[in-house]
Amino acid sequence: MKTASTLADMKPQVTVFINNEKCVIDRDQTIWQACEAAGFRVPRFCFHEKLAVSGNCRMCLVQTGPRGFPTVSCTTKVMEGMEIFTESKKSHVMRGHVMEYILANHPLDCPICDQGGECDLQDQSRL
């Protein structure tokens, strides 16, 4: 069992299952923060620790629950007993569709992409 916080914090915690692994997570965390703290990588573009969460890019979609509903992980708080799947086929397909849409609408004269390999969009599209 993974523990995402120390006992010294003494914050209210919940038990969630990330990729069928039991994890104890602080109740006030989002799904994305819980996954990162437990060692599971979830891609994202619009999330930043010091900015308000917008959830616009939808790159952090994960599958939740037994039916596999798509959930934006950077804006959704964890709940007791939540099942989260970051590496399921459905999660990868959902993120692939989002990436396809982003690339279709990406400007050809992007100054970041011109730097060659410095663009997060390029890095994500290679995965």
pLDDT at residue 65, rounded to an integer: 87
pTM for this model (two decimals): 0.75
Mean pLDDT confidence for 8-35: 88
pLDDT at residue 104, rounded to an integer: 82
pLDDT classification of 5: cutoffs 50, 70, 90: low
User: For position 58, which CATH number holds?
Assistant: 3.10.20.740
In this predicted structure, the answer to whether residue 13 has a pLDDT above a threshold of 90 is yes
Closest CA to 18 of 88, 110, 111: 88
Q: Domain tally for the chain?
A: 1
**What is d(CA 52, CA 34) in angstroms, rounded to the nearest whole number?**
18
Query: Dihedral of the CA atoms 40, 87, 54, 117 (nearest 10)?
Result: 80
Q: Residues 31-74: pLDDT tens digits? A: 999 999 999 988 887 766 676 677 778 888 999 988 888 999 98
- Greater confidence (75 vs 45) lies with 75
Range of the domain at 56: 2-125
